[in-house]
Amino acid sequence: MPNKRDYYDVLGLSKTASQTEIKKAFRQLAIKHHPDKDGGDEAKFKEINEAYEVLSDPKKRTVYDQYGHAANPGAAGGPQGAGGFPGGFDFQFQGGGAEGFGDIFNMFFGGERGGGPGGAQRGSDLEYRLEIGFTEAIFGTQTKISFNRREKCSRCKGSGGEPDAKVTTCSRCNGSGQVRHAQQSLFGSYMQMGVCPECHGEGKTYSQRCSRCKGITIQEVQAELTVRIPPGVDNGSRIRLRGEGEAGPKGGIAGDLYLALTVKKHEYFTREGQDIHYTLPLDYVQVSLGDEVEVPTVYGPVQLKIPAGTEATKVMRLRDKGVPNIKGTHVGDQIVHIRVEVPKSLTIREKQLLLELAQARGKNIRSSDSGFLNKVKEGLGL
């Protein structure tokens, strides 16, 4: 069975793509490959929808970024069984997720997601780019953010009319909030129910519109939130805050706020998944004779034994000194890379000792400093 394609490749995106870019790519590809169109491809259409089901959900996306398809043994292309992603994130093709086929239907038939009697619509999602420190990403943090968003109008409480305005039944829709109109699609003509343009789905009209929101029921404000960043996030991680997006018109539910995280670089630590890498500079004498040195970690300094004869390419591992995963069930390691530093200049005594060492090991050193070398040899009686 062929390997499953990477979800980002399916949508033609990079792993740092924003939610807006993901949605745009999905819609373009879904329209292109819809099986009901001439030249459509059902297999590709399902593959596109499956990729979008995962990448449009920040929780699923975070787990997918960490484990890939290997975390979902029950999906197509993997071992059969009732597999799923850790934490209950099932990445298998559903056909009816947050967008899914419902979103495709809306694209072709002109429906508006979140619409319905009363004109209530779901508010828009927002994205906030937040930069955090290297150790804050590892241990988690709490911070305040400030951003603009639309909220329910504080004057009319979302009704659209002045508090003392006279309320009457809409004459156009007779209070239903909806009207019928003909609509053309790829599949022909059909009748569609839509929001009444006169009362905007309310089923009633006001003698005077709200002076603050002009009848649209929402207003723009500067919101402040205290957000918690869980331990183990990484550069490019996204956190979903439900209901913290923009308010929905006519009393619709609020959208979500997505935190797009950027992690600052550290002075001497680098990160790779759950492991932290550190380069330890050592003198050639230390690796020759062995030593015990202090090594910094994000948890504080630890003592590390350097065995005698340690090679310059040696890699050592400090267990459980890395990054915890999002679920808090495992901690990575710190990988210590040995770098042997050779001095660029030596004292006369150091050169004498090194020459003695070379002679003891049977090495005939041909130094570029031949004058000094001859003087040392004469002094040593060599």
* Amino acid letter, 112: E
Higher-confidence position of 248 and 69: 248
Which CATH number covers residue 58?
Answer: 1.10.287.110
Average pLDDT of the chain?
80
What's the pLDDT at 371?
A: 53
What's the pLDDT at 356?
A: 85
Residue 158 has pLDDT above 50, yes or no: yes
Expressed as residue numbers, the domain containing 226 is 115-264
Q: 255 and 120 in one domain?
A: yes
Whole-number Å distance between alpha carbons of 190 and 179: 14
What's the pLDDT at 72?
A: 56
| Counted domains in the chain | 4
Pairing of strands 275-283, 291-295: unpaired
| Percentage with pLDDT > 70 across the chain | 78
Q: 175 and 228 in one domain?
A: yes
Output DSSP code: residue 124. Answer: P
What value does the mean pLDDT take over residues 232-237? 93
What's the pLDDT at 81?
A: 35
User: Rounded to two decimals, what is the model's pTM?
Assistant: 0.56
Would you place residue 79 in the very low, low, confident or very high pLDDT band (cuts 50, 70, 90)?
very low
Pairing of strands 275-283, 334-341: parallel
Q: 48 and 30 in one domain?
A: yes
Q: 303 and 258 in one domain?
A: no
Q: What is the pLDDT of residues 16-51, one digit of tens each?
A: 899 989 998 998 888 888 876 667 788 888 899 889
Residue 266 has pLDDT above 70, yes or no: yes
Q: 331 and 227 in one domain?
A: no
Higher-confidence position of 381 and 284: 284
Q: Cβ(265)–Cβ(134) under 8 Å?
A: yes
> Quick count: other Cβ atoms within 10 Å of Cβ 219?
17
Which CATH number covers residue 311?
Answer: 2.60.260.20
What value does the mean pLDDT take over residues 290-316? 95
CA 279 and chain centroid, separation:
27
Q: Which of 264, 298, 319 is the last residue of a domain?
A: 264
